[in-house]
Structure 1
Amino acid sequence: MQDSVIATDELDLAVVNCLQLQPRAPWTLVGAALGVDPVTVARRWQRLSDAGIAWVAGRASGQGRPESCLAVVELSCSAGETLAIAERVTELPHVLSVEHTSGPRSLTILVEVRDLAFLSRFLLESVGPVPGVVATSSHAVTKIYSMGDHWQLHVLDAAQRAVMLRGTRPRVDGLTSEQADLSRPYDEVDRQVVLLLGEDGRMPVATIAARAGLSESTVRRRLANLVGTGRVVLRCDMALPDSGWPIISWLWAHADAGDIDAIATTLGRLPGIRVCWRISGGHSNLMLALTAHSLHELSIVEARLADEVPRMTINDRSMVLRSIKRMGRALDLDGRSMRAVPLDIWADPVAWRAPAR
């Protein structure tokens, strides 16, 4: 049960940062990195997890298909129906995140579907008929330069990071790395494992085996393969207010096609850039998420963008007023996880219609 009065301290943040580097790291490794007894570290994580402050979740990488589509969908909603719509859309298994945003769009959602035809069906059959949805606008993500999966708190020093990364292979991510083997299809066993990781990315092998009716050796082998080939994304998340980075702003920008890659490289070196995508479907061809400690700091980050990337033009911006779902977790008013809503990219098209109230 969540406890709204729980406050985080530096050790809590350090534990989360360790799991951002290695989401399934054993407590012995985290303890060694932080110079803390593993039992203490495990107890701290359990406290954070029980309160919904931090969590690890897994999801499939694009269904193992190169044509899979990640898309940003903006929903214009009637004011009185916005919350009800957000709650309905949150339940859809292809929706990664749902945000209540400022500006002309009421809700901004991120979806992952198998192809553009499925995106069309999602918009026309699942979202369009929902009462109160006035209009939709979609933008396909054509290239990912950075993703919230790799965003970090940056509270570890160099020595602590070195311990966490010692002996590990570079992280392979199906959304961001060309090393990922997305040509291999997922079979039913892979699907079972991935969906259970969607409930808890640190679920023990024994628990996965029991839940899926598989042997522990099979689960261990499949899990190693899914993670090693980048066909599953494991991500450690934290409630933004508890993390000390409560502010997120989305920017829609434009750059000449020949400049985009160089601009994205520059953006990747700037603090505060949580997401950077190349998009299509409108005048803007870049979409950025800026994160900051305060609204005042956000204006400083934007000013630095103007200095560092003068060839990029910002066309529009919006503030995230509230995160309602983030990467498979339904969030409360404080941004804390209330429950898992596992991302099921294999869901039957008939089953993913938004449920009626």
Structure 2
Amino acid sequence: MNSAVSAVDDTDRALVHALQLAPRASWERLAPVLGTRPDTLARRWERLTGAGEAWISGLGLRTGTSAPCMAWVEVMCDAGASPTVGATLVADPQSLGLEHTTGGRDLLAFVAVPDLPALYRYLSFRVQRIPGVVGTRSSMVTAVHYAPDRWRLDQLTPVQIGLLTGRGRRSSAPGAVVAPPLTAMTEEDRPLALALAADGRRSVASLARECGMSESTVRRRLGRLEAGQSLRYSCAMASALSGWPVAATLWAEVPEYDVGECAAVAVGLRETRTCMSVSGRWNVMITARLRTVEGLSRYTSELSRRLPGMRITDSAVALHVRKSEAQVLDERGRRTRTVTPDIWAELVPPAGPERAGPGV
């Protein structure tokens, strides 16, 4: 057995689950919940992060109070070109997620940019001009019902979860908590958010030094952005070690008046990682984490049983998740590096006359 796999135990997974619930909690706060010493937790986390087996990232992508313009982009490639195309897209800050997948596309990317004109430029002057790309198809995200930072390992007991959050396990489901008013993300806040992309547990002192702010200013800004949901943290574990190694995506058609119910049902299933309304030939996209490939059939059957009005139009299994929430991953899902998600970086079109690429 791979030594990296055998070194991870249930205590490590419990630590990851605790950090999913309280990403910046001190070791002193977490220790009594997990029944161990603060220095032991610190050593475990250092080992996990050093091996790329777990990590916490911070994402703050708003422009003022406006959410980023997000889209799922299917990329079709020449035979044999998808590894090279994938390596190119992984390096883009606008491409937050990327996977090689089964089905009618070679690559599936999750893209975020500030606005619609930026999405047009990114698709037309970047993605469609990469050698080996023969076509793209885009689905605009129109609503996020469930985001990946809310998916949990479920390693802790309800009592432990309550000690960390004061709520139940799936309390982030729709209707459980009234969301606070959104806080604007200013240009002055961006360096702070970007500095947290690789390590969401960075100390206030190190953030202050890097961003040229006082520690009190950093604390005040972090508190404001976190309370207003403009800065969100995501704690993840390498898929091969988490117990949920298979990633799948579903495309579905749902009557518009049933979308809310669809989202509630999807969120109620343990495997659901994201649920979004999208534009295009289908109006809902769902991603899931599964224990086995065979679990996809059971998952889709359960969705269809609970939602007779939903028609699943396509499904795909990820052959290799190369990037997730700005983190570059190896074939076992371990983090190798972070691409800072500076989605506001200006794209420079290649020299020469503008030409139309394959269909958006």
TM-score normalized by structure 2? 0.90
Looking at structure 2, the residues matched to 158 and 4 of structure 1 have their Cα atoms a distance apart, in angstroms, of 29
Q: Which residue of 2 aligns with 1:162?
A: 162
Higher mean C-alpha displacement, 63-72 vs 202-211: 63-72
Q: Which residue of 2 aligns with 1:300?
A: 298
SS at match of 2:121: helix
Q: Which residue of 1 aligns with 2:43?
A: 43
Q: Which residue of 1 aligns with 2:221?
A: 222
Structure 1 residue 32 and structure 2 residue 32: aligned?
A: yes
Task: Kindly provide the CA deviation profile for residues 255-295 of structure 1, in whole angstroms up to 9, marking residues without a partner as x.
Answer: 11111111211222122111111100x22101111221112
Question: What is the CA-CA distance between 1:67 and the residue it aligns to?
Answer: 5.9
Looking at structure 1, the residues matched to 194 and 350 of structure 2 have their Cα atoms a distance apart, in angstroms, of 16
Across the aligned residues of Structure 1 and Structure 2, the Cα RMSD in angstroms comes to 2.2
Q: How does 1:73-92 map to 2 (within 5 A)?
A: 73-92=73-92
Structure 2: segments with no counterpart, 5+ residues? 352-360
Q: How does 1:249-264 map to 2 (within 5 A)?
A: 249-264=248-263
Q: How many residues align?
A: 343
Question: What is the CA-CA distance between 1:52 and the residue it aligns to?
Answer: 0.3
Looking at structure 1, the residues matched to 82 and 178 of structure 2 have their Cα atoms a distance apart, in angstroms, of 36
**Identity, % of aligned pairs?**
37
Q: How does 1:83-102 map to 2 (within 5 A)?
A: 83-102=83-102
Q: Which residue of 1 aligns with 2:354?
A: none
Return the letter of the residue paired with 2:55: W
Return the letter of the residue paired with 1:154: D
Question: What is the CA-CA distance between 1:214 and the residue it aligns to?
Answer: 1.9
SS at match of 1:64: coil
Question: What is the CA-CA distance between 1:348 and the residue it aligns to?
Answer: 2.1
Return the letter of the residue paired with 1:254: E
Looking at structure 2, the residues matched to 177 and 332 of structure 1 have their Cα atoms a distance apart, in angstroms, of 38
The question of whether the paired residues in 2 share the 8 Å contact of 1:73 and 1:108 is answered with yes
Structure 1: segments with no counterpart, 5+ residues? none
Question: What is the CA-CA distance between 1:66 and the residue it aligns to?
Answer: 2.6
Looking at structure 1, the residues matched to 79 and 248 of structure 2 have their Cα atoms a distance apart, in angstroms, of 21
Structure 1 residue 63 and structure 2 residue 57: aligned?
A: no
Q: Which residue of 1 aligns with 2:355?
A: none
SS at match of 2:275: strand
Return the letter of the residue paired with 1:195: L
Higher mean C-alpha displacement, 219-228 vs 129-138: 219-228
Q: How does 1:244-323 map to 2 (within 5 A)?
A: 244-280=243-279, 282-323=280-321
Looking at structure 1, the residues matched to 287 and 4 of structure 2 have their Cα atoms a distance apart, in angstroms, of 27
Question: What is the CA-CA distance between 1:249 and the residue it aligns to?
Answer: 1.2
Return the letter of the residue paired with 1:181: L
SS at match of 1:43: helix
